[in-house]
Structure 1
């Protein structure tokens, strides 16, 4: 995250992305593993924001932490999408799509915004529920390289559906320094219940960016991927059962601030191999974040997008991640359905041990745009 940003729009979106990520981490507080793409969710809702008017627009602006200047948001997300899609040495695919009921027309300004969000528009006859569901699911599966399947369940779409907005994101890269495969061995992992479970624990030692984050009572480590622009930031509570306290104080989480306090240190890293798939309807979460009127037929106002009244019925999110000795593969998709109604390089004197043998939080961050692509919590490596 040491590269300067090209102008205020991208910087504004970067800050809103971090704030929105913290909000989601705070609200998505059910027990167990958690993995989602705040970027995927924010981008598709930001596109909806540009079709909203009145209180619906104000709620989305506040809930997504967007700048009050709409042009700044438009320019920022346009720059973000282009920057992320420029990735040369990493497999990072981001795509947006609007599926519109046959016979409806997107307003010109909204279509221009969709173009700037790199979002294609395709008309579908939602009355043909099975075929339209297959069309959208096939597109999501293709964009996430087969990792996100059957996103929309049978019977979700029908003749009353006006619009479906989809964002899909896929990431795959190797670690800059791969873990020593021969060193991976069964190691006890401490579960929240107090029990332990033997899991495959990977090991590597390297000079890495590291910080002791006293305000979160945690260790922070940056594990770079091969192309350097993407990193996994891991927040490991110092206490075996410290995840709850960490999440309670997540509003103090600022990756840019943590990065400034990091130094290059020799670190002995122990990290579990893990794989998880996570899916969630975000409607209740978004309502608790103040984005209520877009779901309410009496209040929703999307007159900037299409003619006629409509509300959002649900926002669906599904994500997948696999972390192993060589690297990380991750994918996520967000579907919104609307029915027609740089750091100093001073090493510390002694090496650091970073042993992730108990629950922790992790984030995949982009150095160029300073955005969080994925966020997660590992409570139980094998599920």
Structure 2
């Protein structure tokens, strides 16, 4: 991808990430959120390739696509999808399932196969249990059996016509792993009044770090081994500063944030956390101005061989993340590469003891995952004196 084109693609995806995150946060207050903006955008863009008229225009604007030209849209996604086609670290599964008896146009199917690396598939939604088994079997196989039972049979029926499925699973090892012996119970502040004891990992190492007054937050980048992926953690200065940070992030792109990062010796305290998050995205898409695709007036004339009414019945998304000492999801621990730096200054402390936002990013600015940690499980039933307030 040409640098300028990549940057514009990443900038638009980051804005889409924040838009979706805002809606999900409002829909599920107090929950840890994790989703893949790239996976959602990719899957919806596959449907956009088959759309025209107002349906296409709404998708172009709502998704923040780089172009209104189908070939250019498809090619912009191919750059990233191709990079992870055979990855053992990141598994992306996107597919369009269409009702049997609705033959697809050859040009549409060829573009999906060539650029999105995923052909559409016909199923009989009327046989809901069998259709769900077909979809779930495909997702499970594509994610190396890590994501199962994505679509419940109850989500499908004889009226279903078009189901967009996207699932993503990431399994990476930190470039600098946290020593297990350094993990100990420490306080995590849920809000101004409540706190709990959680397993807090600890490590002193050189990382890219920045203090950003414009965000009233500090930012830490934790790179993954043997990849161009890293986790960016944005920690508000205030223990109750998450909602203010969410608003400020609208005005500062990921690329601007990562440009500010400097190699710094940092004492990191980060809680272990895991989140599994499944959501049906129809409401979110409608709130973002993409509503026609779900109605009987939806225009998907470029998808089918003959003009027939076709609308999206469901957009089902599932993401899973598990952050521990070795990395994200369990991975085999191997030797740690040490870097030789000499510092005469006190290391910076990055203490993630209150709600924060994180993004798992590709090449510094393209968000593959986006999430927040707002609550954690109590560690060993140790409770804070504030808990009952």
What is the TM-score normalised by the length of structure 1? 0.89
Matched, 1:144 2:143: yes
Partner residue, 2:119:
120
Q: Give 1:253 deviation, angstroms.
A: 3.3
- Written as runs of structure 1 = structure 2, the 5 A alignment for 1:14-53 is 14-30=10-26, 31-32=29-30, 33-53=32-52
CA distance in 2, matches of 1:98, 1:104: 13
1:159-201 per-residue CA deviation (whole Å, 9 max, x = no partner) reads 2222323222221111001001101000010012621100000
SS at match of 1:49: helix
CA distance in 1, matches of 2:265, 2:3: 35
SS at match of 2:25: coil
Aligned 8 A contact 2:49 2:108 in 1 = yes
Aligned 8 A contact 1:53 1:302 in 2 = yes
Out of 62, 82, 107, the position equivalent to 1:109 is 107
Q: Give 1:147 deviation, angstroms.
A: 3.5
User: Higher strand fraction: Structure 1 or Structure 2?
Assistant: 1
Q: In the superposition, relative to structure 1, how do residues 200 and 142 fare at CA in structure 2: closer, same or farther (>3 Å)?
A: same
Which of structure 1's runs of 4+ aligned residues deviate more than 3 A?
5-12, 345-350
CA distance in 2, matches of 1:280, 1:126: 20
Comparing 128-137 with 214-223, greater Cα deviation is found at 128-137
- Written as runs of structure 1 = structure 2, the 5 A alignment for 1:256-275 is 256-275=255-274
Comparing 104-113 with 8-17, greater Cα deviation is found at 8-17
Aligned 8 A contact 2:204 2:268 in 1 = yes
Matched, 1:95 2:74: no
Partner residue, 1:313:
313
Aligned 8 A contact 2:189 2:354 in 1 = yes
Aligned 8 A contact 1:218 1:236 in 2 = yes
Gaps in structure 1 of 5+ consecutive residues: 331-344
Q: Give 1:12 deviation, angstroms.
A: 3.5
CA distance in 1, matches of 2:281, 2:261: 34
1:96-126 per-residue CA deviation (whole Å, 9 max, x = no partner) reads 2232322321112211221121012332222
Q: Give 1:347 deviation, angstroms.
A: 8.1
Matched, 1:372 2:358: no
CA distance in 1, matches of 2:258, 2:342: 14
CA distance in 2, matches of 1:146, 1:69: 36
Aligned 8 A contact 2:170 2:321 in 1 = no
Gaps in structure 2 of 5+ consecutive residues: 331-340, 379-389
Partner residue, 2:355:
359
